[in-house]
Structure 1
Amino acid sequence: MSGDSLQIFSEFLGTLILVLLGNGVVAAVSLNKSKAQNGGWVVITLGWGAAVTIAVYVSSFMGPAHLNPAVTFGMAVAGNFAWNLVVPFIIAQIVGGIVGAMLVWITYLPHWEATKDEATILGTFSTGPAIRSLVSNTVTEIIGTFVLVFALLAFSQHKFADGLNPLVVGVLILSLGLSLGGPTGYAINPARDLGPRIAHQILPIKNKGGSDWGYSWVPVVGPMIGGLLAALLWGLIPV
């Protein structure tokens, strides 16, 4: 496998693991008759922080472990990533998100029939707002992703001990979830939302409703804008 192909594969595999473990904890807390049901928001944010850490460990020895189109785009704008790999990376990330969500569905297969609420089921695949206000929701996603991408760029200026960087990134995701995740569920990653939303659309999930495509652009556009703004500000800083 060539260098570029290996990096693209690493984005697919890493995003698959990210969504499998991240959406997995949401399913565990949300679905009826799950042993973790009603674990709460702190469990979800801890699970997502751990999911990102594991996914970065799995993929970072093969590539940069962006696992997020907004990160890939932001890194390219900042001059830290080759533009010719942007589209292949984003495609790999979205496909990884689809497959990861499908594996969550298989893992919890009997629990979909036991869960009757359509919104709860959709929430185990994609994000949704606590208060639906598309402009406000988009701004929330912009802010969260701005912090994500700017922090990742800042991390590149530090020398971490070997193997420590994924843990630091996991803490960043945990912090974002606890502090900024309440309004929208902190997608901060188009692949994490769009891929599983596609899976929700196509899978024969018991008791599912619509996939809320009217909201689906918010966790795509917001993070891409946030990543762009972070990269533009980074470009103004002499490093």
Structure 2
Amino acid sequence: MTPFLAELTGTMLLIILGGGVVAGVLLKDSKAENSGWLVISFAWGFAVAFGVYLAGQISGAHLNPAVTISLASSGQFAWKDVPIYLLGQLIGAMLGAVVVWLHYLPHWPHTDNPGLKLAVFATGPAIRKPFSNLLSEIIGTMVLMIGLMAIGANKFADGINPLIIGFLVVAIGLSLGGTTGYAINPVRDFGPRLMHFLLPIAGKGNSDWGYAWIPVVGPLIGGVLGVHLYKAVFADMFSIWLGVSATVTLIVIVLAYIKER
């Protein structure tokens, strides 16, 4: 298996399990209907863990452009390999969304609310405030990258790291996910949103493209800031400089958020 196929299949599994739990909780007449945020958060964490188990030994299991680009920005991943990783992740996310659609095929016509159907594929804000929503995605992905760097620096028993990563995602979902649905991964949102737009889903409504830039831009910014803030702790001079810049950027965003309110 090549790194491209590893990223594709790992991301596909991630979306099948992650999108699948959202469909089970939200779609009408599912046996898991209304089982709640706790179920969604834990299932997404396990989705990430099993995606990492599947792809980890081949590609390192980035499964997320924010991870790939942030690692490349810090010299821990070759820029020449970035495009093939991103392409695999995007295709995998799209295919995973198709599997979720097929699996829940009888439930789409039974669900009247088009917003619930979109939520199976893409994230959306609890309160629509662009700067606030962007800040939430930045913070969530910063925490993700700082956590991933810390997990990688610790010596866990063989095979435990993916499970620990999964619990990190659970923690982010439970603690920070209530504002925007914690995309923290551009292709996790964009790939399935694109399939929501393309697939013949009964009564699906629009795909909310006006919001779609936030779960793409926010994680990319947050990922780069997170990895360099982590490295700055260990006196990497470039990362210290970037960390100072990140702090200034966050202050500006917070001020914009306060003004927005």
> TM tier, shorter chain?
over 0.9
Q: TM-score, normalised by structure 1?
A: 0.96
2:63 maps to a residue whose letter is: L
Structure 1 unpaired stretches of 5+: none
* Distance in 2 (alpha carbons) for counterparts of 1:195 and 1:234: 29
Q: 1:228 aligns with which of 224, 227, 240?
A: 224
Q: CA deviation at 1:234?
A: 2.9
Task: Name the SS for the 1:124 alignment partner.
Answer: helix
Aligned equivalent of 1:85: 81
Aligned residues: 235
Aligned equivalent of 2:127: 131
The answer on whether the counterparts of 1:78 and 1:234 sit within 8 Å (CA) in structure 2 is no
Query: Does 2:173 align with 1:182?
Result: no
1:137 maps to a residue whose letter is: N
Aligned equivalent of 1:65: 61
Task: Give runs of aligned pairs for residues 86-235 of structure 1, distance below 5 A.
Answer: 86-235=82-231
Aligned equivalent of 1:47: 43
Aligned equivalent of 2:253: none
* Distance in 1 (alpha carbons) for counterparts of 2:156 and 2:74: 21
Q: TM-score, normalised by structure 2?
A: 0.88
Q: CA deviation at 1:134?
A: 0.7
Task: Name the SS for the 2:184 alignment partner.
Answer: coil
Instruction: Find the structure with the greater CA-based Rg.
Output: 2
1:217 maps to a residue whose letter is: W
Q: CA deviation at 1:154?
A: 1.6
* Distance in 1 (alpha carbons) for counterparts of 2:56 and 2:233: 26
* Distance in 1 (alpha carbons) for counterparts of 2:3 and 2:101: 27
1:43 maps to a residue whose letter is: V
* Distance in 2 (alpha carbons) for counterparts of 1:55 and 1:235: 26
* Distance in 1 (alpha carbons) for counterparts of 2:22 and 2:152: 30
